[in-house]
């Protein structure tokens, strides 16, 4: 059946309106990298960049942050494969509280958060993700860490005592420092094992990066 000019005219203007709508949309995100069959978005990079600025007043380059996000992809993929549980709400709230307490006051934290352009939900998202990943790495590598007395004494003599004296303070006793030193050494070992594992894992990945070289 032949369609009336009125119908064709209406359809024509509908198409024009649709084209104008699409052209009017601003592209606010793009792919920063492909990792296997997944993608990392530019917005993910900018979110972590803003979070670093929140905590440290500065951030790494976008290319370095992208590398961190690729490492996080590796950890999360294995964690999810092993059905590692997500952190509980109480754990996340405690972690956020520690972030807030790292500032002089809650008001200072709020001012910095707004300055870097992060919402409360975005801060929670980053904190929850980092907590999940650190919990998994801890559970994966801590059982293999062995810290002996010699290492504890060595750390006490070469790090704890000189640092206290440099501040004009009386060094704490070895016994009072033992648990803190042991945990610091355990975390150091976990970090070393994690770095080696991530390096080996990255070598097996198919990764395409789309950020410009030296992106700030």
Where along the chain do its domains lie? Answer: 12-145+202-209
Q: Give the pLDDT confidence of 71-126 residue by residue, as tens digits.
A: 999 999 999 999 999 999 999 999 999 999 999 999 999 999 999 999 999 999 99
| Number of alpha helices (DSSP H) and beta strands (DSSP E) in the chain | 9, 3
d(CA 55, CA 123): 11
Instruction: Identify the residue whose tokens are 């920063």.
Output: 32
Instruction: Decide if 74 contacts 202 (C-beta within 8 A).
Output: yes
| Model pLDDT, residue 10 | 43
What's the chain's length in residues?
216
Taken in order 154, 155, 159, 162, is the CA torsion positive or negative?
negative
Fold designation for 12-145+202-209: Triger factor/SurA peptide-binding fold (1.10.4030)
Which H, E and C letters describe 178-213, residue by residue? Answer: HHHHHHHHHHHHHHHHHHHHHHHHHHHCCEEECCCC
Query: What integer is the mean pLDDT of 123-131?
Result: 97
CA distance linking residue 144 with residue 159, whole number of Å: 24
pLDDT, the chain, mean:
88
pLDDT at 215: 57
Q: Give the model's pLDDT for residue 216.
A: 56
pLDDT at 24 over 60: no
Q: Is the pLDDT of residue 19 over 70?
A: no
Residue 22: the pLDDT is 38
- Of the chain, the end-to-end C-alpha distance in Å amounts to 60
The DSSP secondary structure of 83-97, one letter per residue, reads TPPPPPHHHHHHHHH
Per-residue pLDDT, 12: 36
What is the pLDDT averaged over residues 19-29? 46
Q: Model pTM?
A: 0.79
* CA 101 – CA 97 distance, rounded (Å): 6
Instruction: List the single range of 17-31, 37-51, 67-81 with lowest mean pLDDT.
Output: 17-31
Of 20-29, 38-47, 75-84, the range with the lowest mean pLDDT is 20-29
Cβ neighbours of residue 198 closer than 8 Å, sequence gap 6 or more: 71, 74, 75
Q: Are 76 and 132 in contact (CB under 8 A)?
A: yes
Q: Is the pLDDT of residue 189 over 90?
A: yes
* CA-CA-CA-CA torsion sign (80, 82, 87, 88): positive
């Amino acid at each position: 059946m032949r369609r009336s000019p009125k119908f064709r005219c209406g359809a024509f203007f509908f198409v024009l309106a649709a084209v104008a709508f699409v052209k009017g949309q601003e592209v606010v995100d793009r792919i920063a990298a492909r990792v296997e069959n997944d993608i990392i978005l530019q917005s993910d990079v900018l979110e972590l960049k803003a979070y670093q600025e929140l905590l440290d007043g500065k951030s790494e380059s976008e290319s370095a942050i992208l590398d961190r996000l690729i490492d996080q992809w590796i950890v999360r993929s294995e964690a999810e494969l092993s059905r590692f549980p997500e952190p509980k709400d109480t754990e996340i709230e405690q972690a956020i509280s520690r972030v807030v307490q790292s500032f002089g006051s809650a008001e200072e934290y709020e001012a910095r958060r707004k300055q870097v352009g992060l919402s409360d939900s975005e801060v929670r998202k980053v904190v929850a993700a980092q907590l999940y990943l650190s919990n998994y790495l801890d559970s994966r590598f801590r059982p293999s860490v062995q810290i002996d007395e010699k290492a504890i004494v060595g750390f006490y003599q070469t790090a704890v005592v000189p640092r206290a004296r440099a501040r004009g303070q009386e060094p704490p006793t070895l016994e009072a420092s033992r648990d803190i030193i042991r945990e610091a050494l355990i975390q150091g070992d976990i970090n070393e094992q994690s770095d080696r594992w991530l390096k080996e894992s990255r070598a097996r990945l198919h990764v395409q990066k789309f950020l410009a070289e030296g992106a700030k």
